[in-house]
Structure formats: structure tokens, C-alpha cells
Chain A
Amino acid sequence: MGNQQSQFEALIIPHAPALLRFARRLSGSATVAEDLVQDALLRAWRSVDTVRNHANPKAWVFRILLNTWYSEGRRRSARPVEAPLAEAARVGQASPGDTSEMMQALGRLPEEQRSVLLLTVVEGFTGQEVAGMLDIPAGTVMSRVSRARAAMRASLSEEAAGEQKKAGVGLP
């Protein structure tokens, strides 16, 4: 128990904020994210003895979180609609102005693109690590990242064009 506890505290708990941040962007709900991270951490606790077999404990616990998310997908889909992303933004202290545009564009991405973008660009995992987490080829990961970037850029451009248009309408 002592060794298990110390491994858990040293290797897993430090990643809790990153897991929560990712879970909120993945689920779009602060409440769902907290439940998801709690379930994932408890699953990690039960098999923490095996973490030393993994080169990257952070990748290991993120994989557990994703497995928890997908294994509970059916149950989740049967639930009422969860608290909206706006709640996450409020609780997550999203930055105002263009930051929220970026976050809104991210939120509009399909889940499969949003997750790979967050895992690679934000959390810094390699394509190979993300491929291992999602059980998909590394090439698929990279193509999803490309499509996600393109979709976000397009979304942000549209947003900027709309703002300019609105500003133009307002001129005398």
C-alpha cells in the first residue's frame, strides 16, 4: 500500500490539472470533466503497480482517461444534455477577447479532431503516443491534426471577416 501510494502521488497526481483541463475541453462540461478525471484517477490507482512498465506515466494516465471517456460513451449518450461549454469557460477562467474566439473555434471542432489537437499541440504528446492512446495509426493522428488546424483557421477567419463586416456596417 505504501509503495502504491507513493507511486500514485509522485507519478500520477501531478498530472491531475492537465487531465482536468483536457477533460473539460473534451467533454465541454466542467462537471462531466471532474467525474471523468475522478474515475480515471481511481482506475489509475487500481493499476498503478504497472505504471513503471510505461516510459511516460502522463501518456499512461491520459490513455486511461480516454478509455474511461469512450467506455462510458454509451451511458453518457443516454444522459440529459450536460452543462454547456460556457460553464467550462466560466469555471476555467477563459481569457476574454480573441482568446474566447480561439476557444470557441476549438469547441466547434469534431471530438476526434479536438482531442488529437489538444493532445499533440497543447499537451505535447508525440503522434506515436497519441496513436497508442487512441489505438489508431500515427498517420491518422497527423492527418486529424492537420484537418483540425485547417478547420480552426477557417473558423477564425470567418469570425474575423464577420467582425470586420459588422464594424463596416456601423460606419457613417
Chain B
Amino acid sequence: MNFDERLRHEVMAETPDASGVVSAVRAQIERDGQRRLWLQIAAAVMLTAGAGAAWQATRPTHPRLLEAAARDHRVEVVENKPRRWKLDVPAMQPLMAQYHVGWNDVQALLPVGFVLEKAKECRIGGQPTLHMVFSDGNRALSVYVRASGEDMKVEQVSVQDADVAAFHRGKLSGIVVAANAPGLCAEAVRRLTSL
């Protein structure tokens, strides 16, 4: 037997038991697979939660309230259905005071060229609401002030041909609606929130 054969024969005579190592490797692979599976599940959950949050962030906070205001504006302002409006300032002021709306507030939020045309109390979403209508002769803007003073997220949506926006500023919170008047609603909300 030459040197190489002898060396090979003697080393190969060692028969190390690799089963323990192989078992440990298989167990580790199993654990890695389960961890990967859990990571995939966690990623899917986070993705779903993220998509949900994104949807939540983009959907209106008060969709029914905004729709109700748009509907009210269409009926009472656009279609001008008969309602008992207060048309002069002395009659309007006590009503506005109930909603913490001062005359200075009204002057400040008026878009350029607009005047306060009329006001009345109504119910939007089942709650007492001050409805003021501003007009420049061609376009009309409804401002609904909520008695509850609830904290409303500033957001704007379109309901049919109307732009509807919620606003919140100090004690005042409510909804602005303008139909067939591009940009008017946004401008009013800008003025309201910068008061």
C-alpha cells in the first residue's frame, strides 16, 4: 500500500456521525422558514394596515354630513325652495350670536365682492346649524356653522356639481358649499381658516 492509499484508507476509516449536525441544520432551516413565513404575514398585515390608513386618510371624515350640506345647498339656494330666511342684518345678528359668529367674523370671511344675503337656522345631520348665504349676484356660497363646535378636519370633496369643504377655526366649525363655482369654496375655506 503506497503512501497516498494508506493515508486515504486511514482517514476514510474515520466515520464521523454527521446526523447530529444534519438534524441541527434541518431544524434551523425549519425555524428560518417559519420566521420567513411570519415575516411575510407581518409584511402583508402592515401593507394592509398601510393601505387601510391611506384609504382612511383620503376618505372624508364626515361624508354624510358633507353630502347633507350639499343637498341642503342645492334645495335651498340653487333651487331656491321657499324657506323662512332672515334677510336683514338686525334680524340675523342674534341668530349668529347663538353660534358665536360675530359681525367682524362675517366681514373677514366674505370673499371679495360678496355680501351676506340671508341666514336661517336649519338642521344638518340632525344638529342645529346656522346657514348663511353669501352672494356676489351670480354665484352663491353657503356657510354652515355647527352649534356643537365639534372639531372638524379641514377637507374638501365634490358632491355632484358642488364643492363641499369642512372647516374648523377656534369656536367655529362647519361646512362651506358652492355649486358651479370653481375655486370659490376653496377660497372661502382659506379665508375662514386664516381668520
Residues of A within 8 A of B (CB): 1, 5, 8, 13, 16-17, 19-21, 24-25, 30, 33-34, 37-38, 41-42, 45, 91-95, 99, 102-103, 106, 117-118, 121-122, 149, 152-153
Contact = CB atoms under 8 A, between A and B. Distances in A.
A106 B14 CA distance: 14
A149 B25 contact: no
Contact of A21 (B7, B11, B20, B24): B11
B11 A19 contact: no
A25 B11 CA distance: 9
A127 B17 CA distance: 28
A92 B17 CA distance: 8
B3 interface: yes
Given A38-B25, A45-B29, A152-B3, A19 B18 contact: yes
B18 A121 contact: no
A159 B18 CA distance: 32
B13 A99 contact: yes
B81 interface: no
A164 B14 CA distance: 28
A144 to B, nearest CB: 15
16 contacts: A16-B18, A21-B11, A21-B12, A21-B14, A25-B11, A33-B16, A34-B20, A37-B21, A38-B28, A42-B25, A93-B14, A94-B13, A95-B10, A106-B7, A117-B7, A122-B8
A21 B14 CA distance: 7
A30 B4 CA distance: 24
B22 A122 contact: no
B15 interface: yes
A5 B14 CA distance: 28
B33 interface: yes
B83 interface: no
Contacts of A21: 11-12, 14, 16
Nearest to B7: A121
B84 interface: no
Nearest to B13: A95
B175 to A, nearest CB: 55
The 5 A-B pairs with the shortest beta carbon distances in the complex, nearest first, are A16-B18, A92-B14, A20-B16, A41-B25, A17-B18
A127 to B, nearest CB: 14
A153 B24 CA distance: 39
A155 B17 CA distance: 30
B19 to A, nearest CB: 8
Given A24-B16, A93-B15, A16 B22 contact: yes
Residue among B18, B20, B29 having the largest count of chain A Cβ atoms under 10 Å: B18
A33 B18 CA distance: 10
Contacts of A92: 14, 16
B16 A149 contact: no
B11 to A, nearest CB: 5
A38 B24 contact: yes
Contacts of B22: 13, 16, 41
B18 A37 contact: yes
A45 B28 CA distance: 10
Contacts of A20: 16, 18, 21
Contacts of A19: 18
Contact of B21 (A1, A5, A41, A103): A41
